[in-house]
Amino acid sequence: MTHFQPTCFAAAVCLSAALTNWIGDCRADDAPFAHPGVLHSQAELDFVKAKVASGDEPWKSAWEELRGHSFSKPNWKPRPATDVVRGPYNNPDIGGTDLMRDAAAAYSHAIQWCVTAEQSHADKAIEILNAYATTLRSVGGHDAKLLVGMVGIQFVNAAEILRHTQSGWSDVDRKKFEHLLRNVFYPTIEDFYPTANGNWDAAMIQTMMAMGVFLDDRPMFQRAVDYCLNGQGNGAIRNYVNDFGECQESGRDQAHTQMGLGYLGCAAEIAWKQGLDLYGAFDNRLAIGFEYTAKYNLGHDVPYEPYRSYEGRYHYPAISDKARGRFSSIFERVYHHYHDRTGLDMPFTRQVVERNRPERWQAPFASWGTLMFAGQPVRRAEKPRGSGNQ
């Protein structure tokens, strides 16, 4: 991959040296994982519950957005297939769309269980996870790796919440779900897909990290962390985002670019929950990518340098205006981190957040960013391991 020279755009992000002056190797130690600790801590869940109860904005509107979907209703019925097949651009689609919607349903009902304390929502999330644990035996087809990467994080978030909140999920059923993760999901994504467009690897990184936390499996978690930092494929941070913010898929289209960024944002949030700082890796590279993409999609000019992807599979000679201005539900989470936790100015990301509230549900993402991350209080704790200068 072409080496990029720094430009004034990176400086315009106003990165603070104080945020990147610690050195670490971003390796997990033998300490227990924090639980719940995928995308949401117990304190964060409690904060959302209080905000919904008080009827404050933007949580009120975000809560109504979540509750308005059919899969958020108590009568939702999961439709697991035994052998899911997803072809290119979802053709053929054998159980793939159902898998995505059921993943969203499990996640939605787990959140609703925490916010309302209504057992029916815990029961519904458990029903969905159990249905797949006892039915799904394989995920195949051209897009199998991508599909597991997209849905896995939603299933695992639901499972993590249920496991660590008195939900009534039995140990027997939980172990069946663990078997699904280890024997169906993990083998599908274990070796990533280095030559694919980077959103594929990024999707798998987030889900592998999430599974590692839920399963208390440090080697699995560390495999994803290592690949995120130093993997050879297009989805590793330095390969997906260059040093002035251009993304590997910026010349493809803006929708897929935001997929890659969103998945890496989830990976960084999971790592943060576990005391590792992927957000700060390579001088806050992810922040620069978000700012670049937000700026371009808000209608501004940005620099662009054509380059070939890993092993030369893709070459995008110019930045793409396809899907320009269509914002995905990925910005609230990373804005909370960089702006609220670390005090980094993110002017273009902020504009997107303000324009896009409340973030809506989108099938490829662990959505509900406004509900779950807007206004979250910053708890000063020991700085996570890792370095902005990896």
- Reading the chain (390 residues) residue by residue, the pLDDT tens digits are 333 333 434 444 443 333 333 234 555 567 899 999 999 999 999 999 999 999 999 999 999 999 999 999 999 999 999 999 999 999 999 999 999 999 999 999 999 999 999 999 999 999 999 999 999 999 999 999 999 999 999 999 999 999 999 999 999 999 999 999 999 999 999 999 999 999 999 999 999 999 999 999 999 999 999 999 999 999 999 999 999 999 999 999 999 999 999 999 999 999 999 999 999 999 999 999 999 999 999 999 999 999 889 999 999 999 999 999 999 999 999 999 999 999 999 999 999 999 999 999 999 999 999 999 999 998 754 456 664 445
Calpha distance 155→85 (Å, rounded): 18
Return the amino acid letter for 9: F
Closest by Cα among 162, 185, 157 to 174: 162
Calpha distance 24→351 (Å, rounded): 33
Name the residue with tokens 């790796």.
145
pLDDT of residue 379: 72
Calpha distance 208→153 (Å, rounded): 8
Class of domain 41-373 as given by CATH: mainly alpha
Q: What is the residue-wise DSSP string for 220-261?
A: HHHHHHHHHHH-SSTTSHHHHB-TTS-BTTTTT-HHHHHHHH
Mapped onto helix, strand or coil, the DSSP state of residue 390 is: coil
CA 321 to chain centre: 24
Among the residues of the chain, which ranges form H helices?
Answer: 8-12, 42-54, 59-67, 96-116, 119-135, 144-163, 171-180, 186-189, 198-214, 218-230, 237-240, 254-273, 281-297, 331-335, 347-356, 369-373
If one counts every other C-beta atom within 10 angstroms of the C-beta of residue 15, the result is 21
Contacts of 61 (CB under 8 A, 6+ apart): 357, 358, 370
232: burial class by Cβ within 10 Å (0-12, 13-18, 19+)? middle
Sketch the domain layout of the chain as residue ranges: 41-373
Q: Which residues is 308 bridged to in the sheet?
A: 315
pLDDT of residue 385: 67
The DSSP output letter for 268 is H
- Backbone φ and ψ of 183, nearest 5°: -110, -10
If one counts every other C-beta atom within 10 angstroms of the C-beta of residue 94, the result is 16
Kindly report the CA angle at 63 between 59 and 64, in degrees rounded to 5? 120
Report whether 103 contacts 154 (CB < 8 A): yes
